[in-house]
Amino acid sequence: MSEDRSPSPGAQGGGSASEGPPEREPDARFTFANERTFLAWNRTALALVIGGLAVGQLLPPFSGLPWGRHLLAVPLIVFGAVLSIGSFVEWGRNQRMLRRGEPLPRSPLPRILSITIAAVAVAAAVLVLLSEALD
């Protein structure tokens, strides 16, 4: 005869409301999906770092604007590092939510990434136009 080994509602480690819901191992598919998302964010972060290094080292200097390459490269490199750390924090938060059976919160990373890339693109366009005007 099999027994139900699930704990009773009051036997969840003290029952304090501050502890949150009990954690259970989520379906492996959700854990793997969370991990794939984390890895995708890290690929994006790595691409930003490499792109920033390429801009800083391989792009010819802008005419009359010797600091132009750095203006584009440094934000890409720094944001790549920030995105990598942010994706790790988000992965951990999502994993905790999955274990608790709670809905996942919206990620701020897509919005931040879009704004950063748009800002770098605008800066690049301004640098190109300024460089042409100074020639």
In a domain, 89, yes or no: yes
Q: How far apart are CA 95 and CA 101, in angstroms?
A: 10
Looking at the structure of the chain, the number of domains it has is 1
The closest of 40, 55, 19 to 127, measured between CA atoms, is 55
In a domain, 47, yes or no: yes
Max CA distance (Å), the chain: 87
DSSP character at residue 62 = B
Q: Which domain holds residue 66?
A: 26-134
User: What is the reported pLDDT for 14?
Assistant: 43
Do the Cβ atoms of 120 and 112 come closer than 8 Å?
no
In a domain, 102, yes or no: yes
Q: How far apart are CA 135 and CA 131, in angstroms?
A: 6
The mean pLDDT of the chain is 86
DSSP character at residue 11 = -
In a domain, 58, yes or no: yes
In a domain, 36, yes or no: yes
User: What is the reported pLDDT for 18?
Assistant: 56
Query: pLDDT by residue (tens digit) across 48-94?
Result: 999 999 999 999 988 888 899 999 999 999 999 999 999 999 999 99
Residue 122 confidence (pLDDT) above 90: yes
In a domain, 40, yes or no: yes
Reported confidence tier of residue 22, pLDDT bands at 50, 70, 90: confident
In a domain, 7, yes or no: no
Residue 41 confidence (pLDDT) above 80: yes
Q: How far apart are CA 21 and CA 41, in angstroms?
A: 28
What are the angstrom distances between the C-alpha of 36 and each of 25, 83, 122?
18, 15, 31
Cβ neighbours around 29 below 10 Å, total: 8
Which residue did the predictor score with more confidence, 133 or 57? Answer: 57
DSSP character at residue 14 = S
In a domain, 45, yes or no: yes
